[in-house]
Structure 1
Amino acid sequence: MRLLTILTPLLSLLPLALSLSSDQEHWAELSSKSKDGVIKLDSQSYHELLADDREYSVSVVLTALPAQFKCQPCHDFDPSFHQVAASWKRKPKHVRDQHFFAKLDFQDGQAVYQELGLTSAPTVMFHPALTGPNKSNKLSVITYEMNRNGLTAPPLHSFLLNLVPEPFALYKPINPLHYIAVPISLIAITVSLYSMRKILVPLIQSRLIWGSLSIVLILTFTSGHMWNRIKNAPYVAAGPNGQISWIAGGYSNQLGLESQVVAGIYGLLGFSIIALTVLIPAQSSPIKQRVGVYLWLGMLIIVFSLLIKLFRMKNGGYPFALLF
């Protein structure tokens, strides 16, 4: 008789316990049926999910995805929220059923937006468990700072790590397209190169192409182009009287246009030497050879004189000169 007196209050609490368990199982079932574990809500189910006697925590995103709302941040953030939710869904059932991810669209929950006074989207709110073993000291809703953290998944995952019942890793699904596209691309490139071998092989073996490429590289490095890139030298500068100056005084400074002029002078000098050593001897007529020698030798002397003149313009103390 005394035992019955003790059990009577406990038996009276049994329907309430079963009701709470039933509600949690209901949301767990909806979450398991969702691909990413995200429960889609409306105004009524929103309040039902966030009941005052809940033994679970909830992360809710309030968004506005339909095209008429023109909410681009909502579309940018939606994959991130689903990625974090899918990562939580990989936890064992007895763990993941202690926390749920849900989504309420403005079109389905305008009353909730008005109730919360929200004027922008997306907004993520963490609602802690209010009863049960997962109840924490933080009983107030925590809003995710979207403007500060951005719209990507890693900051949201970091935000929830210390709030959910158990830590969880952010899962990044493997994209099989990369494992298919890369081998196919390599095969296609190899086949294309092999089919063009009769054109590519002579080009690769061409002394003219390699010589021209070598000259371009030599001129690029000897003209001071790399120094300009490292020092971020201006292209031209203003002179004393407001005129444009393309030569920087002193040997330790230079301008962008100046290095291009130097590269052009070096190029003409190099081509003059090539003409005298390669092109002129290839001529069959002695007269053409003689004229070519005079012509290119004169070009060599004139261009070299310009180079020395440029040195004298940079530094008046330079003692040498040729024609100018």
Structure 2
Amino acid sequence: MWRLSLAILLLASAATAAKKSSGAKKDTSKIDAKVRQLVDWNNRKAIIRLNGDKFREYVKNPPRNYSIIVMLTALQPQRQCQICKQADDEYSIVANSWRFSGSYSPRLFFAMVDFDEGPDVFQALKLNSAPMFIHFPAKGKNKRQDTMDLQRVGFSADAIAKFVAERTGIQITVVRPPNYTVPLLILLALGVIGLLAYFTRIDMSFLYNTTNWGYIALCVIFAMSSGQMWNQIRGPPFAHRDPNSGQTVYIHSSSQFQFVAESYIIMALHAGISLGWIFLTEVSPQARDGRTKKITSMVGLLLVVGVFSVLLAIFRSKYGGYPYRFLL
């Protein structure tokens, strides 16, 4: 009797092992089919566009042995998402940097779901705003940390690459395509000015005017110190509408990001401080009477002190924990 029981147990164990082996082979075959399809799409384009069905098949439903970063966005003009296009451009830079890097492998894919192509995805994820970047790991469910905090770090290519490295351990070197538009425009402008000067015999004595060169130097300094070059490289939005309060935000809260409007504000503040020093060092000493000298001195002092206080307050708001303040 005990021999019969042992035989039954052995047969049951063998059947269970065979079933597990068959299931494992089936899962492996399904994973391989998914990876082949994703690699095929990836060979055509760095960012894989998904609708609701493809999202559930390749992102949500197991099994899978790859991580996938999904940007949920709304690029159609009627959606009026001002920052979605800028975010898409930065996301494309990261995806292309990974696709053409020497360390590329099917461990990581970049995908996108547009609201008009997959509204059910937004509903399933309980999202009511765009853009949004979410990491879906190879195993298990995604956590709160798998959603990129755009309010804190922004959506620049470097910030996205850092987020990918933190969640997947894969380092991506961001490679931006060269932009020759500005150098070509400068060369064209210089060529036109040179031709006009040659054929019309324009008086070039203004080139020897130190005051004009001083104005030009100040404009260049204000532009560069306010982050205009950063704007040209990163392409940030002009401003941002806070989804919670509905108010337009002109100064970003993170030290790693800025808006175009913010750079204009900083430029105006730098110009205000410079104007205050000009009143103190140039205008006031040259005043003919004591009353004018006193007024110009007070104006210069108020400009320097007041504008510097505002500038320091903005700096403190962007760098959390900065301990110093002045008036504000």
TM range (shorter): 0.5 to 0.7
SS in 1 for 2:36: helix
Equivalent pair of 1:38/1:102 in contact (CA under 8 Å): yes
| Rounded Cα–Cα distance in structure 1 between residues aligned with 2:127 and 2:206 | 66
Equivalent pair of 1:43/1:108 in contact (CA under 8 Å): yes
Shift of 1:116: 1.4
Instruction: Tell whether 2:114 aligns with 1:68.
Output: no
| Rounded Cα–Cα distance in structure 2 between residues aligned with 1:71 and 1:181 | 30
Shift of 1:228: 6.8
- Mark the CA change 1:11 to 1:189 in structure 2 (over 3 Å): closer, same or farther: same
Aligned residue in 1 for 2:277 = 230
- Mark the CA change 1:45 to 1:227 in structure 2 (over 3 Å): closer, same or farther: closer
- Letter of the 1:254 partner, please give it: S
Shift of 1:130: 1.2
Larger mean CA deviation between 38-47 and 152-161 belongs to 152-161
- Letter of the 2:35 partner, please give it: Q
- Letter of the 1:194 partner, please give it: Y
- Mark the CA change 1:63 to 1:195 in structure 2 (over 3 Å): closer, same or farther: same
| Aligned mate of 1:200, from 203, 212, 215 | 203
| Aligned mate of 2:172, from 168, 190, 209 | 168
- Letter of the 2:44 partner, please give it: K
- Mark the CA change 1:33 to 1:213 in structure 2 (over 3 Å): closer, same or farther: closer
Instruction: Tell whether 2:108 aligns with 1:99.
Output: yes
Aligned residue in 1 for 2:5 = none
Aligned residue in 2 for 1:322 = none
- Letter of the 2:148 partner, please give it: Y
- Letter of the 2:276 partner, please give it: R
Alignment of 1:47-196 (within 5 A): 47-50=56-59, 51-92=61-102, 95-130=104-139, 140=143, 142-196=146-200
| Rounded Cα–Cα distance in structure 1 between residues aligned with 2:188 and 2:120 | 52
- Mark the CA change 1:9 to 1:111 in structure 2 (over 3 Å): closer, same or farther: closer
- Mark the CA change 1:18 to 1:173 in structure 2 (over 3 Å): closer, same or farther: same
| Rounded Cα–Cα distance in structure 2 between residues aligned with 1:228 and 1:54 | 62
Aligned residue in 1 for 2:241 = none
| Rounded Cα–Cα distance in structure 2 between residues aligned with 1:104 and 1:227 | 48
SS in 2 for 1:248: helix
Equivalent pair of 1:129/1:139 in contact (CA under 8 Å): no
- Mark the CA change 1:227 to 1:186 in structure 2 (over 3 Å): closer, same or farther: closer
Shift of 1:85: 1.1
- Letter of the 1:159 partner, please give it: F
Instruction: Tell whether 2:35 aligns with 1:24.
Output: yes
Shift of 1:213: 7.3
1:1-37 CA deviation, whole Å, 9 max, x = no partner? xxxx9x9789744443232112101011111101xx1
| Rounded Cα–Cα distance in structure 2 between residues aligned with 1:96 and 1:69 | 35
1:171-211 CA deviation, whole Å, 9 max, x = no partner? 110123345444333333322222233x425x569xxx97x
Shift of 1:108: 1.4
| Rounded Cα–Cα distance in structure 2 between residues aligned with 1:24 and 1:228 | 62
Equivalent pair of 1:39/1:103 in contact (CA under 8 Å): yes
Equivalent pair of 2:47/2:110 in contact (CA under 8 Å): yes
Shift of 1:67: 2.0
| Rounded Cα–Cα distance in structure 2 between residues aligned with 1:172 and 1:58 | 22
Larger mean CA deviation between 48-57 and 94-103 belongs to 94-103
Shift of 1:140: 3.2
- Letter of the 2:143 partner, please give it: S
TM-score between the two structures when normalised by the length of structure 2: 0.55
SS in 1 for 2:129: coil
Percent identity, aligned pairs only, is 23
- Mark the CA change 1:71 to 1:139 in structure 2 (over 3 Å): closer, same or farther: closer
| Rounded Cα–Cα distance in structure 2 between residues aligned with 1:55 and 1:16 | 10
TM-score between the two structures when normalised by the length of structure 1: 0.56
Structure 2's unaligned 5+ residue stretches are 1-13, 213-272, 285-290, 301-328
Aligned residue in 1 for 2:50 = 41
| Rounded Cα–Cα distance in structure 2 between residues aligned with 1:84 and 1:100 | 11
Two-structure CA RMSD over aligned residues (Å): 3.8
Q: Which structure has the larger Rg?
A: 1
Structure 1's unaligned 5+ residue stretches are 132-137, 215-225, 237-244, 258-324
**Poorly superposed stretches of 4+, deviation over 6 Å:** 7-11
| Rounded Cα–Cα distance in structure 1 between residues aligned with 2:184 and 2:70 | 37
